[in-house]
Amino acid sequence: MTHEELFKKIYESARKCNYKIYVVGGYVRDLLLGKKVKDIDFVVVGDAMKFAQQLKKDLHLRTLVQYPRFGTFMTRYYGYQLEFVNAREESYSQDSRKPVTKQADLHSDLSRRDFTINTLAMDISPENFGKIIDVYNGQQDLKAGIIRTPLEPAKTFSDDPLRMLRAIRFAARLDFTIEENTFKAIQANAKRLEIISQERITDEFNKILMAEKPSRGMRLLDASGLLQVFFPEFMALKGVEQRKGFHHKDVFYHTLQVLDNVAAKSKNLNLRLAALFHDIGKPPTKRFDEKNGWTFHGHEVVGERMARRILRRFKYPTETIQYVCKLVRLHLRPMSLVSEEVTDSAIRRLIFLAGDELDDLMILCRADITSKIEQKVKRYLQNYELVLKRIAEVEERDRIRNFQPPIDGNEIMQLFNLQPGPKIGKIKKFILEAILNGEVPNDHDACLKLILEHKDELLKD
């Protein structure tokens, strides 16, 4: 079903209720940007709940998700995600972003929207089909690439502080500029973000990170003061220090480069988060050594702990936290395996520890090469290719990734007439270490022979 056919059906249902209806917001904006989307918002000048019943009847809809308190309902139809809302005015209290609403006309509804580029509406009546209603010069700002609030920006952001993050999200994803007074209002109201739930903040943060070049959004979050409010640990990465001729690069901007490098290779949000957190442990581990200069010993271990704590605060799911922490913990391993003397055992151990995340880990390591010195970059890239080659050789031969020891706990209990207990784990670990160290191949019979040979030692209390 085409958009035009869909709009004609919806208009006809509104006509039966004697209501006016318009397409608004993101759909109109994206249409003018040359993008076709399946999520479409409508404003109903009338009672949206009454209209919902008419639409359900006319389109034979199975389900409607209704929010009568807000005059909103949603449904799906032929692959389209449709949302309808009463034309309304809003008023806010100082300590909440949840508005008190009342029905209003179209112009009042458009004025409550966040940015001029989102105040655009489209008439879908037969006589004016496709006509753009532009009360706040949204088309002009869209052409100029400007993010601007339709009303006074300080009040807009004070009323609903989440809009500050949305401004940065649109600027980052569309590569637009935030108009000067609008940006100053964000800076002035940054602390208001504290009244927003963490889930909402994280949702917007994710969308900023998924921009084609996420560093744009991160720089705006920094300049606006918002990053300091919800992610102060990242601000601690800033700063360059010179001592006795030793210089260390600014970890903040290095991390943004790594983030962009990863984004150029992958649309995986979790991998982008790993790039963001990979050096988060550097500030607390920074030390100056008289001979070697600046060191960050153990920053991957400290960074893993910090990442886990921050990601929990950000309300990320457990799977995301485990993934990011694993990559933070392992991100130095691959590039330490560049010497010809490095054993196959060390390569096996990396493959085993990384498991399903090995390929993503290697993308992160490649992205971590950000030096401005051409010869240094060339050397690191050669090392990276060498590690990849060694990994491929060992993995093809030894089948280590995600492997389980070929003898399981049940077989061990039967073999030695044991009950479940710590000895089973001890024997399984013995087999695992033997395989990783290359003492025995990843083969059932070879492992069985090995544990029988060490039976007395393994069963000793």
Provide the pLDDT for residue 326. Answer: 96
Higher local confidence (pLDDT), 293 or 145: 145
Answer yes or no: is 74 within a domain.
yes
Domain boundary among 398, 417, 443: 398
Answer yes or no: is 247 within a domain.
yes
Answer yes or no: is 403 within a domain.
no
- Claim to verify: residue 244 and residue 217 sit in the same structural domain: no
Mean local confidence (pLDDT), 49-72: 92
pLDDT band per the 50, 70, 90 thresholds, residue 234: very high
- Claim to verify: residue 72 and residue 107 sit in the same structural domain: yes
Mean local confidence (pLDDT), 425-452: 85
Of 78-82, 222-226, 293-297, which gets the smallest average pLDDT? 293-297
Is 442's pLDDT higher than 70?
A: yes
Q: State the SS3 of the chain.
A: CCHHHHHHHHHHHHHHCCCEEEEECHHHHHHHCCCCCCEEEEEEECCHHHHHHHHHHHHCCCCCEEEHHHCEEEEEECCEEEEEEECEEEECCCCCCCCEEEECCHHHHHHCCCCHHHCCEEECCHHHCCCEECCCCHHHHHHHCEECCCCCHHHHHHHCCHHHHHHHHHHHHHCCEECHHHHHHHHHHHHHHHHCCHHHHHHHHHHHHCCCCCHHHHHHHHHHCHHHHHCHHHHCCCCCCEECCEECCCHHHHHHHHHHHHHHHCCCHHHHHHHHHCCCCHHHHCEEECCCEEECCCHHHHHHHHHHHHHHHCCCCHHHHHHHHHHHHHCCCHHHCCCCCCCHHHHHHHHHHHHHHHHHHHHHHHHCCCCCCHHHHHHHHHHHHHHHHHHHHHHHHHCCCCCCCCCCHHHHHHHHCCCCCHHHHHHHHHHHHHHHCCCCCCCHHHHHHHHHHCHHHHHCC
Is 99's pLDDT higher than 60?
A: no
Domain containing residue 7: 1-144
- Claim to verify: residue 327 and residue 379 sit in the same structural domain: yes
- Claim to verify: residue 246 and residue 175 sit in the same structural domain: no
Provide the pLDDT for residue 294. Answer: 61
Provide the pLDDT for residue 209. Answer: 98
- Claim to verify: residue 268 and residue 417 sit in the same structural domain: no
In contact, 20 and 58? CB cutoff 8 Å: no
Provide the pLDDT for residue 90. Answer: 52
**What is the tens place of the pLDDT at every residue in 74-85?**
999 999 999 999
Provide the pLDDT for residue 425. Answer: 87
Q: Which of 98, 26, 106 is nearest to 67 (CA)?
A: 98
- Claim to verify: residue 244 and residue 372 sit in the same structural domain: yes
Answer yes or no: is 315 within a domain.
yes
pLDDT band per the 50, 70, 90 thresholds, residue 313: very high
Mean local confidence (pLDDT), 369-387: 80
Task: State the burial class of residue 199 (Cβ atoms within 10 Å of its Cβ: 0-12, 13-18, 19+).
Answer: exposed
Is 398's pLDDT higher than 70?
A: no
Is 192's pLDDT higher than 90?
A: yes
Task: State the burial class of residue 453 (Cβ atoms within 10 Å of its Cβ: 0-12, 13-18, 19+).
Answer: exposed
Mean local confidence (pLDDT), 415-428: 86
Report angle CA 303, 284, 351 to the nearest 5 degrees.
Answer: 25
Answer yes or no: is 180 within a domain.
yes
Provide the pLDDT for residue 242. Answer: 47
The structure tokens listed for 362 are 């290697």
In contact, 294 and 241? CB cutoff 8 Å: yes
In contact, 368 and 380? CB cutoff 8 Å: no
- Claim to verify: residue 371 and residue 269 sit in the same structural domain: yes
Is 244's pLDDT higher than 50?
A: no
Provide the pLDDT for residue 127. Answer: 93
Answer yes or no: is 404 within a domain.
no
- Claim to verify: residue 4 and residue 138 sit in the same structural domain: yes
Q: How many domains does the chain have?
A: 4
Is 175's pLDDT higher than 60?
A: yes
Higher local confidence (pLDDT), 248 or 193: 193
**What is the tens place of the pLDDT at every residue in 196-220?**
999 999 999 999 999 999 999 999 9
Higher local confidence (pLDDT), 351 or 93: 351
* Phi-psi sector, 355: left (phi>0), alpha (psi -120 to 50), beta: left
Provide the pLDDT for residue 283. Answer: 85
pLDDT band per the 50, 70, 90 thresholds, residue 108: confident
Is 304's pLDDT higher than 70?
A: yes
Distance between CA 34 and CA 226 in Å, rounded?
Answer: 31
Domain boundary among 168, 192, 224: 224
Is 98's pLDDT higher than 80?
A: no
Provide the pLDDT for residue 453. Answer: 87
Provide the pLDDT for residue 109. Answer: 85
Q: What backbone torsions phi and psi does residue 89 show, to the nearest 5 degrees?
A: -105, 155
- Claim to verify: residue 74 and residue 13 sit in the same structural domain: yes
- Claim to verify: residue 236 and residue 343 sit in the same structural domain: yes
Write down the mean pLDDT value for the chain.
88
Q: Which of 232, 27, 6, 15 is nearest to 122 (CA)?
A: 27
In contact, 138 and 120? CB cutoff 8 Å: yes
Mean local confidence (pLDDT), 35-53: 92
What does pTM read for this prediction?
0.84
**CATH code of 35's domain:** 3.30.460.10
Q: Which residue has the tokens 């029905």?
A: 103
Higher local confidence (pLDDT), 399 or 192: 192
Answer yes or no: is 77 within a domain.
yes
Domain boundary among 170, 195, 224: 224
Is 16's pLDDT higher than 80?
A: yes
Answer yes or no: is 351 within a domain.
yes
**CATH code of 359's domain:** 1.10.3210
- Claim to verify: residue 178 and residue 255 sit in the same structural domain: no
- Claim to verify: residue 392 and residue 245 sit in the same structural domain: yes
Mean local confidence (pLDDT), 82-89: 86
Distance between CA 85 and CA 45 in Å, rounded?
Answer: 9
pLDDT band per the 50, 70, 90 thresholds, residue 91: very low
pLDDT band per the 50, 70, 90 thresholds, residue 170: very high
**CATH code of 179's domain:** 1.10.110.30
